[in-house]
Amino acid sequence: MKPSSYSKKRNELLSSFPSFIWLVILFVIPIGVIFAIAFKAADPYGGIGEEWTLSTIKELFNPIYPAIFWRTIYLSLISTFIAILLALPVGYYIARTGKRMREIFLVLVIVPFWTNFLIRIIAWKVLLHPDGFIKKILVTLSLADPNSILLYRPETVLIVLVYSHLPFAILPIYAAAEKFDFSLIEAARDLGASRFQAFRKVFIPGISSGIVAAFIVVLIPSLGSYVIPELVGGASVEMIGSKIAQRSFVDRNLPHASALSALLMLAVFIPLFFAALWQRKAALTGKVK
């Protein structure tokens, strides 16, 4: 007995509606509200004003914002680039090594992946503290002045961004490398390619889907990072995320925070758009299934 198309439609709606309605109410509408509130102004009591206005958007051109915006973009791009550069040899090595070593290294990568990220930042706070371990070593080797400060610098934010997101880069690259046919590299070597040429011209294109995935999963949280600049960057290395939190909780200016959030949303959308475009092209040319 085949169910009628009417009851099939009813079953489809019944099974889709719980998640559909939940996400419309608690995901789509709130994101829409952010864009709407960006066209309001704050009232003096920390609430949201009645009138529609462009003044909040105009304030984004206040000179402090472009600086924060560009810092967010370049710190995110550089940290993503470094993370992928490190993840490539790691993914390659783990995919090629023996079964036992592979399991050990995988666990060693997955543990930081799952460790609470505040805890992982704590480790750096301890390490870089003025009375901490690294400072002591640098001063002993006279590589640093006893009065120098290691925390609250852009380089520190960069290191901690790489540290936090590196496992996210390694896992997709490893997953792609594991499926890669390594005899292709041997073939390239037999045909006269140097080891580096074979790596660059055969291995890298062969795992490009993993690299694009790594790019997205590292870049997006970097663009939105708030805790890392807040805790190891301080007032001198603010990013958009830390500004959004500051506007919401310290200044209690929700329209301003919304305008910044809308800007961040657009910044996230651009790399996603290109990744989707790449995937479409790759699917058409048969590179990825």
Nearest residue (CB) to another protein, 39 versus 226: 226
Asked if residues 187 and 148 have their Cβ atoms less than 8 Å apart, the reply is no
**Any contact of residue 61 with another protein (CB under 8 A)?**
no
User: Smallest gap, in angstroms, from Cβ of residue 61 to another protein?
Assistant: 21
**Any contact of residue 64 with another protein (CB under 8 A)?**
no
Return the residues of window 213-272 that contact another protein according to CB under 8 A: 216, 220-221, 223-227, 231, 241, 244-245, 248, 254, 257-258, 261, 264-265, 268, 272
Instruction: Out of 56, 80, 124, 172, point to the residue binding another protein (CB under 8 A).
Output: 124
Contacts of 218 (CB under 8 A, 6+ apart): 79, 80, 83, 84, 165, 168, 169
CA–CA gap between residue 256 and residue 51 (Å, rounded)? 15
Three-state secondary structure call for residue 51: strand
User: Smallest gap, in angstroms, from Cβ of residue 197 to another protein?
Assistant: 14
Query: Of the ranges 49-57, 59-67, 89-97, 205-213, which one interacts with another protein (CB under 8 A)?
Result: 89-97
**Any contact of residue 117 with another protein (CB under 8 A)?**
yes
Asked if residues 247 and 257 have their Cβ atoms less than 8 Å apart, the reply is yes
Return the residues of window 12-41 that contact another protein according to CB under 8 A: 12, 15-16, 18-20, 22-24, 26-31, 33-34, 37
Contacts of 232 (CB under 8 A, 6+ apart): 121, 124, 125, 128, 151, 152, 156, 157, 160
Asked if residues 221 and 161 have their Cβ atoms less than 8 Å apart, the reply is no
Instruction: Out of 57, 60, 78, 120, point to the residue binding another protein (CB under 8 A).
Output: 120
How deeply is 219 buried, as exposed, middle or buried, from its count of CB atoms within 10 A (0-12, 13-18, 19+)? Answer: buried
Closest C-alpha among 28, 32, 113, 76 to residue 271: 76
User: Smallest gap, in angstroms, from Cβ of residue 18 to another protein?
Assistant: 5
Cα–Cα distances (Å) from 265 to 128, 162, 261, 269, in that order, read 32, 22, 6, 6
User: Smallest gap, in angstroms, from Cβ of residue 160 to another protein?
Assistant: 10
Q: What counts of helices (H) and strands (E) characterise the chain?
A: 15, 2
Return the residues of window 160-189 that contact another protein according to CB under 8 A: 163, 166-167, 170
User: Smallest gap, in angstroms, from Cβ of residue 268 to another protein?
Assistant: 6
User: Smallest gap, in angstroms, from Cβ of residue 24 to another protein?
Assistant: 7
Q: Which pairs count as long-range contacts for 126-131, CB under 8 Å and 24+ apart, including other chains? A: 128/156, 128/232
**Any contact of residue 212 with another protein (CB under 8 A)?**
no
Q: Sign of the C-alpha dihedral, residues 30, 33, 37, 42? A: negative
Nearest residue (CB) to another protein, 58 versus 195: 195
User: Smallest gap, in angstroms, from Cβ of residue 174 to another protein?
Assistant: 11
Q: How many residues bind another protein (CB under 8 A)?
A: 83
Strand partners for 52: 40
Nearest residue (CB) to another protein, 111 versus 277: 111
**Any contact of residue 108 with another protein (CB under 8 A)?**
yes
